[in-house]
Structure 1
Amino acid sequence: MYSRRFDTPLSHFSPDALQSELNVMLDPASRTWLQVGRDKILDCRTLELAVNTLLLTSAMAQRKLGEEALRYQPEGTHWQVDQAARLLLLLTLRSIVPAVNWPELMLSIYRQFDVSEKIVTVRALDWLAANHELNPIAVETVNTSNLDLFSALALKNAYPVKFLNECTFLKLIQKAVLLDLNLEQIEGLPLRQSPELTKLCMDLVRERLHAEQDIPPSIWLGMRYRYLSDQGKDLYLGNVFSESEQHQYFTLLGLVNNGAQECPADFWQQLAKSAFSMAPHIRPLADELLSEARFSRTSSCFNTGHFRTS
């Protein structure tokens, strides 16, 4: 599999399970410090005191615990010890907050965090939210000018594709393209394919061509072939046979992920001829497409039609 399909939620850590993983990494003094901080949050008489305790403890986590990578990582994640501890503190607070109060409280906490703490928060939105209730945090992050913070939300993060509305999701993709981020790292992108997303990405391609600027290679992943105009289909398929291996890779990966059933017959013929000369990391994509086309034998795979390669 060349691009991880988003079909199941990421594994969730319970607070106790997360602390168990941290305990393996921490020396006795560090373990005690983290447990005391967690107990203080749980023992506070008011939510205000609990939030203040969390803010103080979270701010000290990096200095107290260090930045070593956590040994056990849930699928699709990469947490450092200090980041995992901050997540643990947030999960601990969540356990004592009424569900109806959690979204507003979490947004308030997020706005008081520094950038490193905000990065932990947006990476953990899928842990901290049951549904879309933390979208205000995601929306603020889409609008941030901090590249690291935006990337923490946009890349390798399950939350946007699951819970962002269409308008905000399109804005996230547009910003990712403008920042030259790799759309292959947008978790579950094939599941958010739409005519609007396809048009957005093709419009961005045309803008780059008109300005005589380079086209971001991964932008093809934002397009579904069947949603393109005839001219757009010509442009897309022409890049399958581009001199750029990056454009070859991402156009083929886009067809693998998003469907190639409506590609014309002469495309399949040219692909069969060209596959043998493609780079080793690209040829498996071409072979997969050709294999699927041969087995499906549907008329939609072999429509007559023409496309330009220049």
Structure 2
Amino acid sequence: MQSQKIIQLQQWVEQHLTQAQIDWLLSAKQSLVESDPEKQLDELLNISAGVKRSVPDQSLEGADQAFAHFDFAETIRLLLLVQVAKTCPDIAYLVKSYYQFGDQSEKTALLKGLNFIDPNGQAVQTAIKASRCNTTVEFSALALRNPYPAEFFPELNFNQLVLKALFMGLEIDQVVALDARQNAELSNMCFAYVIEQALADRTPPASIWLAIQLNNLHDHHLGELERYTQHFYQMSVEHKQQITQLLGKQNAELLEQIKG
């Protein structure tokens, strides 16, 4: 499935490049194929550094949904990384090294495409390290619209990723497979953050309620549920919608109370 998507991406990309740009891309991929295995990473980094000078600066409107949030340079870098990964005996080393030596735009391309470069999760430790970065662009590339964390992150690291997204003001409805990775610790961490934000007179992203399952909440959090759902229900339309959805499914009686 993933290899088929990469083939389709290659075809789509070539339809939107000039002949000179296509020739450059094919030459770059051939250079990687023919390079000495011990020097292949250096060759990849050299080619990657010149990508933005060689391809158009535009988004991928009309491409497969899996790549709709990529820009053109990120897509080319993904194709180059996949080319190297095909014959690389150590995917973990490839990902770690490219992440270590790449600039922010290269790191972003790598993280967005991890599930295509590393479909078996061999480089998960590098991804976990990347989740601790402080730049929104880089963090979003890993945390949002990306199936890799949900598929390979241990529970603790996945929970930390979700909470950090909320700290950064990101909407976690874009965290892939959030429902499938629901757990008691995540529910309580997020509800504790709801309380913290209310006490500080701040408003967290409305999608925080997507990470909360009422049957997972500790007793002391259940005791505060009415107070804080009512507080944020009145705070904004977005929170009202999310709380209505949450309580409508899990506690219709409480929903009627806070409406009244």
Give the aligned partner of residue 93 of structure 1: 84
Please say if residues 51 and 76 of structure 2, whose CA atoms lie closer than 8 Å, have aligned partners that are also in contact.
yes
CA offsets, 1:231-277, max 9 Å, x none? 24324653584252111122234457xxx24x15463xx3xxxxxxx
Give the aligned partner of residue 225 of structure 2: 233
- One of 114, 118, 121 as aligned partner of 2:103: 114
1:189 Cα deviation after fit: 0.9
Please say if residues 74 and 109 of structure 2, whose CA atoms lie closer than 8 Å, have aligned partners that are also in contact.
yes
CA offsets, 1:49-100, max 9 Å, x none? 22111111111111111222235422243222221111110010011212xx
Please say if residues 240 and 252 of structure 1, whose CA atoms lie closer than 8 Å, have aligned partners that are also in contact.
no
CA distance in structure 2 between the partners assigned to 1:213 and 1:237 by the alignment: 14
Please say if residues 12 and 63 of structure 2, whose CA atoms lie closer than 8 Å, have aligned partners that are also in contact.
no
Identity fraction in percent: 26
**5 Å matches for 1:135-146?**
135-146=124-135
Give the aligned partner of residue 277 of structure 1: none
Q: Are 1:60 and 2:60 an aligned pair?
A: no
1:17 Cα deviation after fit: 3.6
**Is the partner of 2:80 in helix, strand or coil?**
helix
- One of 150, 154, 173 as aligned partner of 1:165: 154
**Is the partner of 1:36 in helix, strand or coil?**
helix
The normalised TM-score by structure 2 is 0.89
Aligned residues: 256
Give the aligned partner of residue 281 of structure 1: none
Structure 1 residues 108 and 186, CA gap change in structure 2 (3 angstroms): same
Structure 1 residues 135 and 214, CA gap change in structure 2 (3 angstroms): same
Please say if residues 98 and 107 of structure 2, whose CA atoms lie closer than 8 Å, have aligned partners that are also in contact.
no
Give the aligned partner of residue 19 of structure 1: 10
Q: Are 1:130 and 2:122 an aligned pair?
A: no
Query: What amino acid does structure 2 have at the position aligned with 1:144?
Result: C
- One of 11, 14, 34 as aligned partner of 1:43: 34
**Is the partner of 2:67 in helix, strand or coil?**
coil
CA distance in structure 2 between the partners assigned to 1:159 and 1:85 by the alignment: 20
Q: Are 1:251 and 2:243 an aligned pair?
A: yes
- Structure 1 window deviating more from structure 2 (196-205 vs 167-176): it is 167-176
Query: What amino acid does structure 2 have at the position aligned with 1:18?
Result: L
- Structure 1 window deviating more from structure 2 (119-128 vs 227-236): it is 227-236
Structure 1 residues 157 and 266, CA gap change in structure 2 (3 angstroms): closer
**Is the partner of 2:223 in helix, strand or coil?**
helix
Runs (5+) with no aligned partner, structure 1: 1-9, 271-306
1:15 Cα deviation after fit: 4.9
Give the aligned partner of residue 288 of structure 1: none
1:24 Cα deviation after fit: 0.5
Give the aligned partner of residue 69 of structure 1: 59
Structure 1 residues 72 and 53, CA gap change in structure 2 (3 angstroms): farther
Structure 1 residues 56 and 103, CA gap change in structure 2 (3 angstroms): same
Give the aligned partner of residue 234 of structure 2: 242
CA distance in structure 2 between the partners assigned to 1:198 and 1:254 by the alignment: 12
- Structure 1 window deviating more from structure 2 (139-148 vs 209-218): it is 209-218
Q: Determine which structure has more spread, i.e. the larger CA radius of gyration.
A: 1
Query: What amino acid does structure 2 have at the position aligned with 1:250?
Result: Q
Structure 1 residues 30 and 77, CA gap change in structure 2 (3 angstroms): closer
Structure 1 residues 28 and 167, CA gap change in structure 2 (3 angstroms): same
CA distance in structure 2 between the partners assigned to 1:181 and 1:265 by the alignment: 30
Runs (5+) with no aligned partner, structure 2: none
Q: Are 1:185 and 2:174 an aligned pair?
A: yes
